[in-house]
Each structure stands twice: as structure tokens, then as C-alpha cells.
């Protein structure tokens, strides 16, 4: 199984290098291990995350693409769909099949036709438009709903931090 996963990951990496999505760089941490990737995601234009450069890591299971990878931001993030430890919580990264909680349809969840590129584009979309109904970070979801101005200030502080700009500038 790991052999077919490796071939698939190599093919996806080649595709990402030939035709990279705008604002995203991604690839294996090193060529010895295609199951651990790094990605840099640029904050989407017109959002409170605009201008930030957010590092992430993706960890692929040996049975990829039958099972989804895990994705985690490796910088501070404050977002309704990102846990405090940086783990990303979006439907496309949830195991295939029916949602035991009945919240997501199986069509929204992982399937082998998904790809690294689709995951990364979904995360960019998630940054732009959080799902505050399914909060991985309850405090961020509540602030997003009830005090958008404060949420934007926190996000802008994180953007400055990703760029190495002191917060008091």
C-alpha cells in the first residue's frame, strides 16, 4: 500500500511544482520521506489574514489516498476552524463515509479523488470564510460571530508575527 501512496504523492508533488496554485508553496520536507510535507500559505486578499505567510505541515498515512492526511499550522493561529495546537478542522480532512454526528454529508468528507492541491485551496477558502457553526476553537468562533473587529485585530497581529514585524509598530 505504501508503494502506491508514494507514487501518488510523487505525482501530486510534480503537479504542484509544474502548476502551483497562487499563494501556495508545498512539498516534502525532504526527498527521503514523501509522507511529511511542508506548505506555506499566503493569507487571502481582502481578508484579515491578507499578507500573512502561514507555515503548515501535512502528514500522510501509509494508505493515502484512501485515508486523508493530517494538517497542522506550525505558527500561532486564531481561527474558528483551527484548534489551539494548530490542527486544521475542515470536512475535506475528515475520514470518508458518513459523519457520526450527522453534521457533514459524505460528499463533503475525504475521498481518494481529493488531492493535496484541493486540501490547500480548501484551507485558503477556510481562512477567508470560517465555518463558525463547527468551531474547533470555540473562543475564535464566538469572537468571529460577536466581535468581528476584535477578531480582525487578533488576526492582524498574527499576520505581523508571521512576517517578523513587532506587534507594537
Which residues are part of the catalytic machinery?
A: 89
Distance CA(23)–CA(43), nearest Å, equals: 8
Of residues 123, 89, 120, 107, the one with CA closest to residue 12: 120
Strand ranges of the sheet holding 33-42, from the earlier edge strand across to the other edge? 24-30, 33-42, 53-59, 70-73
Question: If phi over 0 gives left and psi between -120 and 50 gives alpha, with beta otherwise, what is residue 28?
Answer: beta
For 93, other C-beta atoms within 10 Å of its C-beta total 19
Helix 116-128 / helix 2-18 crossing angle, nearest 10 deg = 60
Amino acid at each position: 500500500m505504501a508503494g502506491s501512496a508514494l507514487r501518488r504523492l510523487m505525482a501530486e508533488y510534480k503537479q504542484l511544482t509544474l502548476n502551483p496554485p497562487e499563494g501556495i508553496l508545498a512539498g516534502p520536507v525532504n526527498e527521503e520521506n514523501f509522507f511529511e510535507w511542508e506548505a506555506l500559505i499566503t493569507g487571502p486578499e481582502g481578508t484579515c489574514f491578507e499578507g500573512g505567510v502561514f507555515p503548515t505541515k501535512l502528514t500522510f498515512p501509509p494508505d493515502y489516498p484512501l485515508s486523508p492526511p493530517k494538517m497542522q499550522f506550525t505558527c500561532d493561529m486564531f481561527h474558528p476552524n483551527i484548534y489551539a495546537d494548530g490542527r486544521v478542522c475542515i470536512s475535506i480532512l475528515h475520514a470518508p463515509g458518513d459523519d457520526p454526528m450527522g453534521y457533514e454529508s459524505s460528499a463533503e468528507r475525504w475521498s481518494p479523488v481529493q488531492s493535496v492541491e484541493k486540501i490547500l485551496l480548501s484551507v485558503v477558502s477556510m481562512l477567508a470564510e470560517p465555518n463558525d457553526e463547527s468551531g474547533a476553537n470555540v473562543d475564535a468562533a464566538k469572537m468571529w460571530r460577536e466581535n468581528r473587529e476584535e477578531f480582525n485585530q487578533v488576526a492582524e497581529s498574527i499576520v505581523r508575527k508571521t512576517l517578523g514585524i513587532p506587534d507594537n509598530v
